[in-house]
Amino acid sequence: MIALFRRQQYLLSYTLAAMLRRKGRNLALLFVYMLIIFVLASVMFLSHALIREAGIITAQSPEIIVQRMTAGRQALIPADYLERMGRLQGVNRREARLWANFHDAATHKNYTMRVDSHRELGDGEIIIGASMAKRLKVNPDDQLTLTSTHGEPYTFHVKGITTSPSELANAGLVLISAATFRRIFAVPPGYFSDIALSVPNPREVRTITEKLLKRLPDTRPILREEIQRTYDSIFAWRQGITFVLLVGAIFAFVIFAWDKANGLSSEERREIGILKAVGWETGDVLRMKFLEGLIISLCAFIAGCLGAYLHIFYASASLFEPILKGWSIFYPHFQIRPFIDGLQLATLFFFTVFPYTITTIIPIWRSAITDPDAVMR
């Protein structure tokens, strides 16, 4: 057993020495390989993290949102719609909500201003999301000025900071009192942005929607599952687009690996012949070359994934942001919370390290099973 272990040690030490002898070539290969893994892992990490963020948001949102439509556009909904809606079997909570998007003309950022009926806020007082506070370097009891598109400044007193499991929800959230909200957005009393309905039993959602449309024909019920589906398809589509763009790069890498594998240099073939002639078994040669491929693959995989992790979760995915986030969708800057799925990593490993190792080992095996007498000539 110890001899077997020692043998592997000798093989590994020879492999490392052999790799160092072809430093330039191996470093070039490692760099290209790492770049591919980096790009693929970045796309995967970002897409999955965004889908997860979207999942957290939709999980918190009500099952049905009722919006009033006028001339095909969303309009303010009168409070008496709650009465007109009547009693709906399966709905355990109804809430008329006030929310709006606020574009800060000074910083060109979008914020979501929302009235939270559970929080006591005075006129001009706000509670902001933790990541927004961090980004704007604002602390509780500070003053924060936001400028409307008309150039009118609004100065708020930051009463507190709120946290949310979703960084995305947190990024541009401003909680505000109803009075302040109505003043800023000129929403008359008795009108709201929409009505949220909580339906504990998901199987009742469709029936309730049908009843709603009969009782309030000028409204549009939006279902949580629809929002979820939209998010999923947006990110899946963007992920798909990026993958399509990457296909060329992936093919180039496959050709590169195949070429490297097939085009065993005469020096490498000679080395295999020498090793066999001096008593190495075909298995030893294969193990040595397998180790070589594995070391390159693993280094590239680990470095690529690590680079992608830092790129996505600490450098705000700066290379892919325009494609994957979409500037119009998530305009306020936000830092995605680190999230790694083991299955994702395993998939990436299977589709990169595994084929590379196999494509390189086959020609080496072909070369290693031939008689070593060629080295005599």
Partner 1 sequence: MKIELQNVKKAFNQGRSNELWAIRGVTTTLEPNRITCLKGASGSGKTTLLAMIGCLSRPTSGRIMLGERMLSGLPERFMTEFRRHTFGFIFQRLNLIPGLSTLDNIMLPAYPLAPRHHQLLASAQSLLEQFGITDKGNNPIEWLSGGEAQRVAICRALINNPQIIIADEPTANLDSRLSTEFMGLLERLRDLGKTVLITSHDPLVFDAPCIDRVIELRDGEIV
Contacts with partner 1 by CB under 8 A lie at: 3-4, 6-7, 10-11, 14, 17-18, 20-21, 270-271, 273-282, 284, 369, 371-373, 375-377
Nearest distance from C-beta of residue 2 to partner 1, angstroms: 8
Pick 29 or 146: Cβ nearer partner 1? 29
Nearest distance from C-beta of residue 239 to partner 1, angstroms: 44
Nearest distance from C-beta of residue 367 to partner 1, angstroms: 14
Residue 193 φ/ψ, nearest 5 degrees: -75, -45
DSSP conformation letters of 243-307: HHHHHHHHHHHHHHHHHHHHT--HHHHHHHHHHHHTT--HHHHHHHHHHHHHHHHHHHHHHHHHH
Strands 173-176 and 109-115 turn out to be parallel
Nearest distance from C-beta of residue 25 to partner 1, angstroms: 12
Pick 21 or 215: Cβ nearer partner 1? 21
Nearest distance from C-beta of residue 27 to partner 1, angstroms: 15
Pick 17 or 244: Cβ nearer partner 1? 17
Token pair of 40 as six digits:
């693929």
Pick 203 or 377: Cβ nearer partner 1? 377
Pick 220 or 269: Cβ nearer partner 1? 269
Nearest distance from C-beta of residue 371 to partner 1, angstroms: 4
Pick 332 or 372: Cβ nearer partner 1? 372
> For residue 321, which amino acid is it?
E
> For residue 50, which amino acid is it?
L
Question: In Å, how far from its chain's centre is CA 59?
Answer: 17
Nearest distance from C-beta of residue 373 to partner 1, angstroms: 4
Pick 273 or 293: Cβ nearer partner 1? 273
Pick 178 or 295: Cβ nearer partner 1? 295
> For residue 155, which amino acid is it?
T
CA–CA distance, 136 with 127 (Å, rounded to integer): 13
DSSP conformation letters of 151-199: S-EEEEEEEEEE--S-HHHHHTEEEE-HHHHHHHHTPPTTEESEEEEE-
* Selection from 55, 33, 35, 61 nearest residue 339 by Cα: 55
CB burial of residue 98 (10 Å; 0-12, 13-18, 19+): buried
* Selection from 212, 182, 183 nearest residue 197 by Cα: 212
Across the strands, what pairs with 176? 115, 126
Nearest distance from C-beta of residue 260 to partner 1, angstroms: 19
